[in-house]
Structure formats: C-alpha cells, structure tokens
Structure 1
Amino acid sequence: MENPREILKDCNEGFAEFNKTNAEQMGAFSSSMGVLFKKGSLDVKTKELISVAIGIYNRCKYCIVGHSYKALKAGASPEEIMEAAMVAVAFGGGPSMAYSVTLLRKSLEEFKSDFS
C-alpha cells in the first residue's frame, strides 16, 4: 500500500510542475477550486466531506488522500469522514468499500495527528 503522505506530496509536486508550463490552465483550475471550496451556504468541512465521498466513489487515490487531509484540516473527525465514505459505498459498492477500508483508513491514521 502506498503511503498517503507520499501520494499527497506527489500530487502537489505534479501541480507545481504542471504550473511551470501551463500557468494559465493551472491558474484557472486553482481559481475555480478557490471559489468552490470557500464558505458559502455550505461550510468548508461539509464540502470536504462531500469531496471525500466523491473520491471514494470514483476510486481516485489523489482525491481520497487530498480531501481526507483537507477534511481533517477543516475540522472533520475521522468518524465523520468515514461516515461520508460509507454514503459513497451505498452507491459504489465493493470497490468503494475497498478504498474506504484501505487507503482512506490509512490516510486518516497518517494525517489525524497533524490537526489534533
């Protein structure tokens, strides 16, 4: 199993490298994410919980790791994050469960002390 911290680092380095040659596209992406993930009718924690669930459903390891980190940072508990993941399992079945009990669980173990 890959280390969640390494997955997060790899993704962040990929964004930085992509930005060197595609600054306009990266700027547009970053701008839209900034708008979408700021507090609105939903708080940031809720948006990150939704994002974890979508990542689990889509089986995107980068989304699972990144948004579990951001959900913890936004104040979500590991229990809330796993509950959001279980909603995704209702739609995604066994593959979503597999990602929840492996990569998501390992991500929460790895990152929870960063925000305690």
Structure 2
Amino acid sequence: MGKNVREMLNSFVGGLENLAQTNGDMVGAFMGLLGSAYEPNALDIKTKELISVGIGCYNRCEYCIVYHTYKAFEAGATKEEILEAAMVSVAFGGGPSMAYSVTLLKDCIEEFEKDFQ
C-alpha cells in the first residue's frame, strides 16, 4: 500500500472538526452546501458518491478520492462500480487520472471494501 488511506480519511474528518472550532461559520456553510448537494433527489446518494469519486480522480484531489471512495462503499457501491466511475474520469483526464486510479484509488478500495462486506 502506498499511502495510509485510513489515516488520510481520519485526518480530513478531524481537520474539519478542528477548523470548525475557530471557523465554525465557514465550515458550517461548507457542510451545508455538501448536505444539500448530497440529498437524494433525482440521483441517489450512491450515484452522487460515484460521481464524486470520478471527479476526485479527474481533479487529482487525494483527500476527495479517499473520502468519497469510503462514502461510496458506505452508500452501497461495489468495487466494480467505483472503478467504472474512475474510468469515466480517465476518458476526460487521461494519464494523470489513470495514475490516481491505479494507485491511490486502488489503495482505498483495498482498505475500505472490507469495512462494508
């Protein structure tokens, strides 16, 4: 495993909590936006998390990949669905998106899949 993705996940979530102690309004606004965006409407949460995995791979946002891979599994996505979402990002992002898909995303799948079996 290249990176400790569980540590990255905990660091991100903990970082938001710590930042909220001094910047509660900004963190609250951000979390409110996320809450609204991830409300199930025409798209369910699993689909939205799969879109987020693809966007994370496209943007090469390590913390986005880690967080949304975990959340995709939590929402009921399979390893195959997560990988397929990432491959759509490769169609737009080329080699850099592929690099993140075959390294960090692979590590996330290996670490988090077992949490939801």
Structure 1 unmatched ranges of 5 or more: none
Residue 28 (structure 1) aligns with = 29
Please state whether the residue corresponding to 2:103 is helix, strand or coil.
helix
For 1:107 and 1:77, how far apart are their aligned partners in 2? Answer: 13
Residue 58 (structure 1) aligns with = 59
For 1:95 and 1:33, how far apart are their aligned partners in 2? Answer: 26
CA RMSD of aligned residues (A): 0.6
The structural deviation recorded for 1:38 is: 1.4
- Write the letter of the residue equivalent to 1:106: D
TM-score of the superposed pair, with normalisation by structure 1: 0.98
- Write the letter of the residue equivalent to 2:69: S
For 1:99 and 1:115, how far apart are their aligned partners in 2? Answer: 23
Equivalences, count: 116
Residue 18 (structure 1) aligns with = 19
Structure 2 unmatched ranges of 5 or more: none
Conserved? CA contact 2:51–2:85, under 8 Å = yes
Conserved? CA contact 2:3–2:107, under 8 Å = no
Give a deviation string over 1:5-63, Cα, whole Å, max 9, x none.
01101111110111010000111111111111011100000000000000000000000
The structural deviation recorded for 1:73 is: 0.4
For 2:3 and 2:10, how far apart are their aligned partners in 1? Answer: 12
Kindly report structure 1 stretches of 4+ aligned residues shifted beyond 2 Å: none
Residue 93 (structure 1) aligns with = 94
Give a deviation string over 1:50-102, Cα, whole Å, max 9, x none.
00000000000000000000000000001000000000000111110010000
